[in-house]
Structure 1
Amino acid sequence: MAQHDYPGNGFSYRGSIHNHTVHSDGAGTVEALIAAAARAGLDFLIITDHNVLADQSQQGWRQGVLTLIDIEVHDPELVPERNHCLTLNVSEDVSPFARDPQGLIDAVRERGGLTFLAHPIDPPGKLIPECFPWTEWDIEGFTGVELWNFMSEFRPYATNKAKAVIMAYFPQWFTTGPWPEMLAKWDELLQRQPTAAIGGPDAHAQVYHLGPLKRRFLPYDYCYRAVNTHIITPEPFTQDFEHDKALLYDALAAGRAWIGYDMLHATEGFSFVAEGREGVVHMGESAPLRHGLTLRVRTPASGHIKLIRAGSGVVAETKGRELRHRPQQPGAYRVEVWKRWRFKSRGWIFSNPIYVS
């Protein structure tokens, strides 16, 4: 476990949400995923098999990783398939509610759980046309959205077999960030209600064949060094499962988190806070719009920092490691940080918002 101090008496932890095992359509056992997470130095791992709650007796602190088992729910009879939902902090199988998305969200909330819409914007590809977007946008009461689904980002890039082979061996050449349409949808939601965001690998680690070629695409070890969710807690993990589990889910529910593409450069050391008379306010929290309120961003390496107000776009930006801004309007303010690699700007850090009211 690699605990990091965070401004305002907080603590940050890095982990992976949205992972599949042999209990659904993943290639690895629960034990294999935990071992890969430990090798990557993750602090937590959330397994979300399709429509099955795997053996929760395997939850706990395993090989130094806080391991949790939840469910990704969808209606298997819906054609075309769509409306996948990550249901977290559940102790029973809620997949029977899958047919009615609002009913599912309500049932999970009544049980004290969280609901994140999985890969809500999920464009098809020329070579791989199947996709699983979210279409029921009249719902309410869900916790948040999966802003960056790592695996689904690659599908549209596979426009032909040759490109698919290159992508299988060099996926880092293709990674860019969340879909622009997803960022725009999140800003639309934020103008109506607080909406937390997470990122996940959607890890399956399946082997694909093309003629004589055989390749495991995005193995677990690779995924856990790529797109991660970093949480902020008010007190440190203690290795007590129930205590630490509550801290983790509370952080995700509030949006005290950022999404980091840690393969590009480790994102530990990032911070986005509001500083004012009330002290330090974290992501997912509210700060009153008063004289002297300052939004401050710090990054562990240089990048293109953008401060965005939902509905207004970029309100401040700089290239470097720090940005300060005094907001003039209420709203949901969030941060994007981009870095160039191989002649292309790539998404590096995506914060949850601070709500200035």
Structure 2
Amino acid sequence: MIYQYSGVIHVHSNYSDGSADFNGIAKAARKSGAKFILINDHDTLEGLYQQGEQYLHDVLILVGAEVSPPRNHFLCYDINSVPCKKQMPAQYVKEVYEQGGFGFLAHPDQKENPIFQGRMNWDNWDLDMPFGLEIWNFFSQWMSSFKNIQGLLISFLFPKATLRAPQPETLRKWDLLGKQRPVPVIAGVDAHGGRQFNWVPNILSSYKYQFNTLRTHILSEEPLQGIINKDRKIILSAIKKGRCYLVNHCVGNVKGFLFYLQHLNDKWFMGEEVRYRPEMTLNIILSEKAHVKLIKDGRVFWQGRTKAVHMPNPETGVYRVEVYKGSIWRRPWIFSNHIYIRPAGHDHVQ
């Protein structure tokens, strides 16, 4: 049996530039329906030292950090100390993995905003470590959605309308990297609460509002049991492996979504590599009809309006799924992680 849990990644608390403590963040998460939160305060683990990882209001609060130089931000987890942001990016990413941790390039292709800030993108993806990618970031997209004061006012009034699919540039790079190795991806909100806008009364600055935008849904063969260390391992392991999919909750909640490969009684899910076998079947299952795109090696391989796809004998390649809602205006809803079908002689694959 496969269990699914929805969580919010990339959240800032009052230990850096967020406006609420863990208790306030957990309350907002519970109201939004999230089951877990990943805190990424800037260049600090102070929240971990002061409060620790814990269940609050039936929401599991886990603590990582965001290494935050002017560019090349890095979301990291399972670390004991935060690397110095004054190092070169390759150095602080390496330090995270040397600690036994893992991480994701944050908002890697964020565009420049002429009003508030310059570019906060990643300059160079040529790193030796098996990093993942934050391919979808609510606040980053919002910051890139306007170029002048008029656009800013519209974006303040209708922030969810600024949310689009992940940038094609990011998707292309991700698909290309996936031909070389597994590359897990997540969705982040980059939530700060109201602090960054001070007195400005807008719904954008609400934690609860932002928690109802982008979420990451994990898959697990074990249920969460309310035991912190056990549940922590389940959640972080799924995120690290890419055993998860990304959901735009502005479009709608997900009652069920599966993308898996099957051969006889064996199944492989998102994030997994497998050697090619004859008579495999690639499967997509939704709880309602929507427009589905099956992407293979960065290109649309099949698309149509459906709630189920069963594709026999898929060839070797890197596969993922995009799902859109709406018959006239298709809005981006679900983006899966990859399934990697490698040639039969490929090393280190099941």
TM-score, with length taken from structure 2: 0.91
1:58-207 matches, within 5 Å, as: 58-75=52-69, 81-90=70-79, 92-96=80-84, 99-206=87-194
Once the two structures are TM-superposed, the CA of residue 254 in structure 1 deviates from its matched residue by 0.9
1:316 to 2:302 alignment: yes
**Counterpart of 2:254 in 1: which secondary structure?**
coil
1:263 to 2:289 alignment: no
Alignment partner, residue 293 of structure 1: 280
Once the two structures are TM-superposed, the CA of residue 88 in structure 1 deviates from its matched residue by 0.8
Extract structure 1 runs of 4+ deviating beyond 6 A: none
Q: Contact 1:175 / 1:346 at 8 angstroms: preserved in 2?
A: no
Once the two structures are TM-superposed, the CA of residue 237 in structure 1 deviates from its matched residue by 1.0
Q: Contact 1:269 / 1:299 at 8 angstroms: preserved in 2?
A: yes
CA RMSD of superposed structures (Å) = 2.0
Deviation digits for residues 290-333 of structure 1 (CA, Å, limit 9, x no counterpart): 2221111112232210111124x011111121222235421211
Once the two structures are TM-superposed, the CA of residue 182 in structure 1 deviates from its matched residue by 1.1
**Counterpart of 1:147 in 2: which secondary structure?**
strand
Q: Contact 1:305 / 1:317 at 8 angstroms: preserved in 2?
A: yes
Q: Contact 1:304 / 1:338 at 8 angstroms: preserved in 2?
A: yes
| Distance in structure 2 (CA, Å) of the matches to 1:43 and 1:156 | 29
1:207-356 matches, within 5 Å, as: 214-311=201-298, 313-340=299-326, 344-356=329-341
Once the two structures are TM-superposed, the CA of residue 209 in structure 1 deviates from its matched residue by 6.5
Once the two structures are TM-superposed, the CA of residue 95 in structure 1 deviates from its matched residue by 2.8
Gaps of 5+ in 1: 1-8, 76-80
| Distance in structure 1 (CA, Å) of the matches to 2:140 and 2:308 | 32
Deviation digits for residues 123-160 of structure 1 (CA, Å, limit 9, x no counterpart): 11343442310112111213310010111112232132
Which amino acid letter does the alignment assign opposite residue 226 of structure 2? Q
TM-score, with length taken from structure 1: 0.89
**Counterpart of 2:84 in 1: which secondary structure?**
helix
1:34 to 2:34 alignment: no
| Distance in structure 1 (CA, Å) of the matches to 2:329 and 2:115 | 24
Alignment partner, residue 6 of structure 1: none
Aligned residues: 340
| Distance in structure 2 (CA, Å) of the matches to 1:191 and 1:259 | 21
Once the two structures are TM-superposed, the CA of residue 213 in structure 1 deviates from its matched residue by 6.4
Once the two structures are TM-superposed, the CA of residue 15 in structure 1 deviates from its matched residue by 0.2
Q: Contact 1:208 / 1:217 at 8 angstroms: preserved in 2?
A: no
Q: Contact 1:208 / 1:215 at 8 angstroms: preserved in 2?
A: no
Q: Contact 2:22 / 2:61 at 8 angstroms: preserved in 1?
A: no
Which amino acid letter does the alignment assign opposite residue 63 of structure 2? I
Gaps of 5+ in 2: 343-350
Change (3 A) 1:38 1:344: same
1:54 to 2:46 alignment: yes
